[in-house]
A and B are shown apart, each in its own frame.
Chain A
Amino acid sequence: MRHLLSAADLDRDAALLVLDTAERMDRALAGREVKKLPTLRGRTVVNLFFEDSTRTRTSFELAAKRLSADVVNFSAKGSSVSKGESLKDTALTLEAMGADAVVVRHPSSGAPHRLAGWVRGSVVNAGDGTHEHPTQALLDAFTMRRRLGRLDGVRVTIVGDVLHSRVARSNVLLLATLGAEVTLVAPPTLLPVGVDTWPAAVSYELDGALAKADVVMMLRVQRERMTASYFPSAREYSRRYGLDRARMAALPEHAIVMHPGPMNRGMEIAAEVADDPRRSTIVEQVTNGVSVRMAVLYLLLGGIDPREAM
């Protein structure tokens, strides 16, 4: 594996290797005073973020640092990008400085794919527009497997703004690869064209999908990407598609509630659901994100340097 651009890059074996490696990483560091491994000493990871992010950037930074890689954080604000530098020139500049991996987040779908054609190091997609966010899907799968003990046949209901959600797209691809059954629930206006070709069932109604769900994944309503009005009012959206206490009570005993964050409390998820200690995995997802990203960086960078092999 050279890059991680899409969840579809991973076949079943590769996806399970990432999850198993993440499990080992997690256990290798659990309970240790020194949370650091020497594995990627001397490697440089550049976090190239053209969009705001707290958890993903911090998570990648921590993951790289725990593997002893050097980390350079680059955000578009306050950089040459605000002077009009193109993505390609930015990439070539970083390349010239010797970046072994570029972790990129970009508002345009496909930007990491373009980047992968320009640089010789590894490219990791940390979210591109409304397209994909593969490491989020991996950490979600990791969290599900930990909580439920398996992924094969697990019924996952993904609820909300599927249209704008790279998290949903990557999760559908990865979960299908791993044998889970995905149901997408959203108002028709928030489903993308061609969703019928995805490996997932589609429903417009949340209540009917709750009783048999092992996992409910709530998506953030992404107002910043909404160029038109997709639903009449926040209140109506919340009543029809929000996860409140009553709906949570309709879930099977063992079911878990996930959210990729950041949350709009009171909109897609009620505060008491988000904070439910038994069902909510929202904090765990953040913790697991570091282990999963360590696994991805190790598998991409730990081995033979592709530039030396060329």
Chain B
Amino acid sequence: MPSAAPQLPGTRTLFDAGDVARVVDRIAHQVLEKTGGARDTAILGIPTRGAPLARRLAARIRAFEGLDVPTGSLDITLYRDDLRLRGVRALAETQDPPGGVDGKLVVLVDDVLYSGRTVRAALDALRDLGRPRAVQLAVLVDRGHRELPIRADYVGKNVPTSQDETVQVLLAEVDGRDAVLPARAPGAAAEATR
């Protein structure tokens, strides 16, 4: 998880605000291209930072094509497989996209793709919400170390990391500014045993 990770001293920013905007633009174009114009599509962000990213993607698609893609958020806390190991977390908002997900092409959005466990939980949560026609995944950063057979359809940037490094995504809606920073994994030892 990118939150509260201390930034490595002497390292540079991976993305600044301009890079984040360009990457969101690119992914918006890719979604339009790959979904044939984003019709019958819904964008679902995974809180915390996936939710504002999803809204930004939808806003860019609207700007490019004048098309309103239904947007929602999907809290996956109650579907996590590591609650027993890490303790309870406060729940975030789940908001069905207008029109629901049945028969839609759902694009899941998250900030960082790492072990793949969050996405697995999201797929379980999505199944309880309805039956999408297909599910795709968009992430701002893929930092490797997958523990499950999961891959992203749209990747902002691949950032190879070692196990004790992590990536911190900051978004204006949550953190006051846009940036992607390299950081030291807070529970490096604990995460390695996962």
Contact = CB atoms under 8 A, between A and B. Distances in A.
Interface string B96-137: 100000000000000000000000000010001100000000
Given A38-B79, A302-B83, A303-B87, A24 B128 contact: no
A28 B90 contact: no
A304 B87 contact: yes
A304 B75 contact: no
B194 interface: no
A192 B92 CA distance: 42
A39 B85 contact: no
B174 interface: no
Contacts of B94: 24, 27-28
B4 interface: no
Interface in B43-75: 75
Interface in A206-243: none
B91 A299 contact: no
A253 B79 CA distance: 42
Interface stretch (A29-37, A113-121, A267-275): A29-37
A39 B79 contact: yes
Contacts, number: 48
Nearest to B94: A28
Contacts of A302: 83, 88
Contact of A25 (B79, B88, B91): B91
B88 A298 contact: yes
B135 to A, nearest CB: 18
A11 interface: no
Given A28-B94, A32-B129, A37 B84 contact: no
Contact of A303 (B83, B91, B96, B124): B83
B93 A304 contact: no
B85 A304 contact: yes
Given A36-B128, A38-B124, A28 B86 contact: no
A92 interface: no
A299 B88 CA distance: 6
A299 B89 CA distance: 8
Which 3 A-B residue pairs are closest in the complex by CB-CB distance? A24-B91, A303-B87, A303-B88
